[in-house]
Structure 1
């Protein structure tokens, strides 16, 4: 679903240009690497992260003037996000993404890993060329956070003792870090005050956490079409998310299913049924709403009506994905 027409027509042209620029920016000498990267970009996506950056840029610059550096940051952010998806799909052994074969499925695992590395390297090069040390510091930390998140997720696979706090921490590293840091980076480029920059960071952090929680709910109740990947994948890979953790608190049977790693034929359908018959989905939704409210509070502390108005559309979109 494309959220742009419903948000702010002003940035629609910039997002169309972004699509074309992404293709140019991933050009590589090796045809396989280029084909692998282009394959994923051609599948499209919601482009939520670039949209947020452009909206922040629009609301924090003089005369509603989005700077070239903002546009390049939006492109860099999407490349970093895409690189993380390539690696995620390899680790999760995911066969499809956004309705098309994943890179490792279409080419090979080796090519997918190299394509992900290539995209990270490309994003780092373009990031350095922004010639803004504060932005470089903010965004480069995200790549470290991705690795941290993957390691933490791997270490807690099928770990029934994982706490909700650890789940939120892992969700920050895997999803919220990029949205938080790029939101702050957009405000840095606009030369806003450090206080305003930090409020945009908090906005992105809580929005990112809400986005991940909603994603995890959809993994249980969504269809492969709405998800862009197979449903129930988190359970299969031992990624214990909010709906599962809340369900386990109500029904101890869940712990025994986790302990045997859902290895029996009907374990995953059985677990999904337990989750749906408990209060876990509602509790997860409430948790997502808490973070949506926290993101709104962060934006409300900024004296900028345009930012509040335009970014509220993103908040509504994130939570309404469940409708």
Structure 2
């Protein structure tokens, strides 16, 4: 395992070797414009009803939009095309924000990026309506924009996201225990497909003035990269929930465990020692997650989950080799994703 330093809790204590700001430096001006557009979108669409919604769009790394912009930039420096890509990235971030609003309701989360969640202020109905409002107005604007050529791509990713969340929720409602393959299928739908859409949208826009640059083979390579990158990203996210350095260790995990939404480190434990895992899951449901978290760490289940993330990351890197443009920043983004701490 090349990106971690020790065998136990190695990911939790590793320091990212790559600086995120340096990776996104080629698209810094586009990201600054994106932030302004997102702020404006929320202020116009939601703030008249839910003034605190603006706080929820602050922060975050805009990873999906970064993929979209980096792929566009890999093919062109045309300012008009890049401006269109910022518009698409705004829609992508808006859809992602809607999903966060609804996820917070589903997970009964209290905080989002250090701020009280919308449903804590306005109740579940208020948060659902806020998300619905953004969805509807986004697609109305998207439909009448000059970037409707990639609308189907973005919508397909959004559909996958909702279907994946639905599949995971139905498994939880039925109190079924997901297997590792079922978990991977679920995150493929609810997370990786949207990353795939973001990457593909950027590549399509970046080559719209010369579509010959994006053959079917290269377009498929972009899609593969986006999907495999998204898989690695989500698995690392789930690993970080078990990070012993987090001051809020246990809060999100307890919510997931109590709702039967089990992630990869725990599923690997269950495959290895089902009886012990079930016993500690029941203990965790009663509020004591320390022993479960300790075993997940001490037995190396975090590292085993991390190895799965690395395999997806390697597939993403391999897909990039088919592209004839400079993909250094995309490769570095893969490395950053594997070594990030939040």
Pair 29,130 (structure 1): closer, same or farther in 2 beyond 3 Å: closer
4-13 or 104-113: which moved more?
A: 4-13
Post-superposition offset of 1:285:
0.5
Q: Could you tell me how far 1:302 is from its partner in structure 2?
A: 1.3
Q: Equivalent residue for 1:313?
A: 332
Choose from 271, 275, 278 the match for 1:255.
278
**Aligned mates of 1:63, 1:32 — CA distance in 2:** 36
Unaligned runs of 5+ in 1: none
Residues 1:297 and 1:218: Cα distance change in structure 2 (over 3 Å): same
- TM-score, with length taken from structure 2: 0.84
8 Å contact from structure 1 (residues 149, 170) kept in 2: yes
Write the deviation string for residues 247-270 of structure 1: whole angstroms up to 9, x where unpaired.
Answer: 112222113444x4843232x223
Is the contact made by 1:58 and 1:66 (CA closer than 8 Å) also made in structure 2?
A: no
Q: Distance in 1 between matches of 2:341 and 2:290?
A: 20
1:231-251 CA-to-partner distances (Å, cap 9, x unmatched) read 554324321111001111222
State the distance in 2 between where 1:30 and 1:133 align.
23
The answer to whether the Cα contact below 8 Å between 1:4 and 1:12 also exists between their aligned partners in 2 is no
Q: Is the 8 A contact 1:58 1:64 kept in 2?
A: no
Matched with 1:163 is 179
Q: List per-residue Cα deviations over 1:215-238 (Å, max 9, x = no partner).
A: 1111111555699x8455432432
Gaps of 5+ in 2: 1-15, 208-213
Select between 177-186 and 135-144 the one with higher mean Cα deviation.
Answer: 135-144
Which residue in the other structure is 2:97 paired with?
Answer: 82
Q: Which residue of 1 aligns with 2:136?
A: 121
Find the partner of 2:51 among 27, 32, 35.
35
Structure 2 CA distance for aligned equivalents of residues 232 and 26 of structure 1:
31
CA shift at 1:172, angstroms?
A: 1.4
RCO higher in structure (CA 8 A, sep ≥6): 2
SS in 2 for 1:238: coil
Q: Is the 8 A contact 2:191 2:234 kept in 1?
A: yes
Native 8 Å contact 1:250 1:278 kept in 2: no
**Cα deviations by residue, 1:268-294 (Å, 9 ceiling, x for unpaired):** 223212211222111100000000000
| 1:130-178 C-alpha deviation (Å, 9 max, x unpaired) | 4455511111122222221221111222856422111011111221111
What is the CA RMSD across the aligned residues, in angstroms? 2.6
1:33-182 matches, cutoff 5 A:
33-42=49-58, 44-61=59-76, 66-132=81-147, 134-157=149-172, 159=175, 161-182=177-198
